[in-house]
Amino acid sequence: MPTYIAPVEDMMFLFEKLKNNKHYNEIEKYKEVSSELVKNILEEAAKINQNIILPLAKSGDENPTVLENGVVRTPPGYKEAYTKYIEDGWTSLSCDPKYGGQGMPKTVSAFFDEMLSSASLSFKLYSELSIGAYNCISHHATDDIKNKYLPKMVEGKWSGTMCLTEPVCGTDLGLLKTKATEQSDGTYKLSGQKIFITSGDQDLTENIVHLVIARASDSPNGTKGISLFLVPKFLVKDDGSIGSRNGVSTGSIENKMGIKGSATCVLNFDDAVGYMIGPKNKGLNAMFTMMNLERIVVGIQGLGISEIAYQNSLNYAKERKQGKANNSKLSDGADFILEHADIKKSLLNMKSIIEGERALCFWLSQQTEVSLNHQDKKVRQEASDFVSLMTPVVKTMFTDMGMEITSEAMQVHGGYGYTKDQGIEQLYRDNRITPIYEGTNSIQAADLVFRKLVNKNGDIIKKYLDMMKNDCKIENDNMKFFVKELDYHIKILSNFTDWIKEKVQKSKDDASAACNDYLKTLGFVSIAYAWVKVLEVSFKDYNNNKNFYEDKIQTANFYFKRVLPRAESHFKIATTGSDYIMKFKFI
C-alpha cells in the first residue's frame, strides 16, 4: 500500500508567503484567518487523511461497492471513517456559518481537497459532490429550500449529487429526455434515467439530495428548455425530518477501471417529486455554478494523486539498488536508482510540475474568493473572468499531468509498479477518470478556445497576458534567467493566441485541431508564472530557510529548462494547420 505524508510545509509556505494579492487581502471576513489557525487545520487534516482515509484506498479497490436488493453497500471501513469525518466537521470547512459551516476560504479548503484526493479519491467522491450541490443550492434556491436542506448537507448527514448525463446525451445536454411535469402544488414529477452518477446512492448518509436537469413538459427543445430540480432520495417533511421514499431507485452500478470504492450509478426517476431550483428553462445556468467549481476540484484530484505517486516513487528510488550510476563512488555493488540521471530526471519532472501546479491553484483559489466576496463589482468581475479562463486549464493540465506522473511513477518502480502489491498501478487507474468526467479534456480545450478567451466583458486572455508581463518586471539579478524564459514563452503564447483567434473566425477546423495544444501552452506558461511568484519569495527570504528555498530554486530551474520548453513545441505542432488531418480518409 502506498504511504503518504501531507505536504503541510509547502501548503503553509503558499498561504503565508504568496498572500500578496491586494484584492484578496481586502476581503474583510478572511482577515481573521491567521496562519496559526490554518496550520492547525492542515495538521489535523493530515492526521485524518494519513491515518484513517489512506487505508480505505486499497480496501475500496479490493472490495468495491455492490448493489444488493436495491441497496448500494460501500466498502469495508467506509461507514466508520465517514462517521469520524463528519464528526470532525470536514464537510463544513468552506461552508457558510449561517448553515453550520466554518467559513474557511478556498485557499484553505483547496489544500484539504488535495490531501483527500491523495489519500483516497473514491472516499472523497462521497462528500465532494455534496459541496458542489451545496454551492448550487446556496446560490440559486429559495430561502425555504436553503433552510430545509443546507444545514444537514453542511453537517454531512445528507449528501448531494449532480445528475446530468443520460444514455442519449453526454456533452450535448440539449438531447436529454428526462421530463418534469408540474403539479397543482407547484412541485414537479420527474421521469427518466440518468447514468454515470457519482455517489448516486450509498449507505453513508441518511438522505441524498439529487440535483437533476430535466425538461418541463411545456418547455422548448434544446438547451433553452432545460430546468434544474432538487429531487431528494427521501422526501423531507415541513419540520425537516425524513419522510417516505421518493421515486428514485438505483438500476445498477458501473464496473469500473478505477475508483472502485465510489458508486457510479444508473438512477431511475419514476414520478419522483422534485422542486425547481432557479428560473424555469435556466437550469444550465444554475448547474454550471456547481460544474465550474467541480472542474477546478477535479483538477485538484489530479494534483493530489500526482503528489502521492511522486512521494512513493522518491521513497522507492532511495531504497532500490540497481546498476552502477556514472558518478558512482562505490567500487563494487549496485547504486540506489536515485543516483541514476534518468530516474532523477523523472522525479524532478514530477516534483516541478506538482509544486508549480499547487502554486497556480493557490492563485486561482484567491481569484475565486475575490470573484465571490470582494466589495467592488468591477474587481469581482475581473477575478471571475480569470477564474473562467483558468478553470479548463486547471482541470485539463492537472489531470493530464496526473496521467503522465502516475505512468512515470510506475516506470520508476519497474516491474513492481505493474503489480498490485505497491499500489502504484491503482493510482494510475484511479486517476484515469479525471481527464474524462466533468467534461472531457478535449471539451475543456474547445470551451477555452471558443468561449473563454474573449467574452462580453472583453479580451480576457489579453488581460491575463498583460498581467503576467507586468509581473515579470522584477529587478533582481537572481531572477534574470527565469524572467527571461517566462517572457520568451509569454511571447509565444501571445503569438499563438493571435493565430488561434484568427482561425476561430476563418477556419474552425484549424482552431479545433489546435485547441488541446493551445490549452497546454497556456497551462505550461501559467505554471511558470506561478513559479516566478514562488521564486521571488525564495530569493528574498533565502537566508531565513536556506534548505527549503534552495530546494525551490533548483526545482524551478528544472521546470524552466526541461518542462516549460514543451509549450513552444505545442505551438509549432498546432500551427501546421488541419488540412492534412481533415483530408485523410480512414478505410
Q: Helix (H, G, I), strand (E, B), or coil: what is residue 291?
A: helix
568 is catalytic: no
- Compute the Cα dihedral for 537, 541, 546, 547 and give only its sign: negative
Task: Answer whether 236's CB lies under 8 Å from 207's CB.
Answer: yes
Exposed, middle or buried by CB within 10 Å (0-12, 13-18, 19+), for 326?
A: exposed
d(Cα 467, Cα 223) in Å, to the nearest integer?
Answer: 35
What residues pair up with 73 in beta bridges, in sequence order? 66
- DSSP alpha helices (H): ranges in 68-105? 78-87
Could you tell me the maximum CA-CA distance found in the chain, to the nearest angstrom? 88
User: Phi and psi of 388, rounded to 5°?
Assistant: -60, -40
Task: Answer whether 299's CB lies under 8 Å from 397's CB.
Answer: yes
Task: Answer whether 249's CB lies under 8 Å from 267's CB.
Answer: yes
Task: Answer whether 385's CB lies under 8 Å from 467's CB.
Answer: no
Indicate which residue of 357, 408, 438, 536 is catalytic. 438
Q: Which helix (H) or strand (E) holds 578?
A: none
Which cell is 270 given?
419514476
Task: Answer whether 396's CB lies under 8 Å from 442's CB.
Answer: no
Phi-psi domain of 275 (left: phi exceeds 0; alpha: psi -120 through 50; beta: other): beta
Task: Answer whether 216's CB lies under 8 Å from 280's CB.
Answer: yes
Q: What angle do CA 314, 364, 547 make, to 5 degrees?
A: 40
d(Cα 75, Cα 87) in Å, to the nearest integer?
Answer: 20
3-state secondary structure 476-536: CHHHHHHHHHHHHHHHHHHHHHHHHHHHHHHCHHHHHHHHHHHHHHHHHHHHHHHHHHHHH
Task: Give the active site residues.
Answer: 438
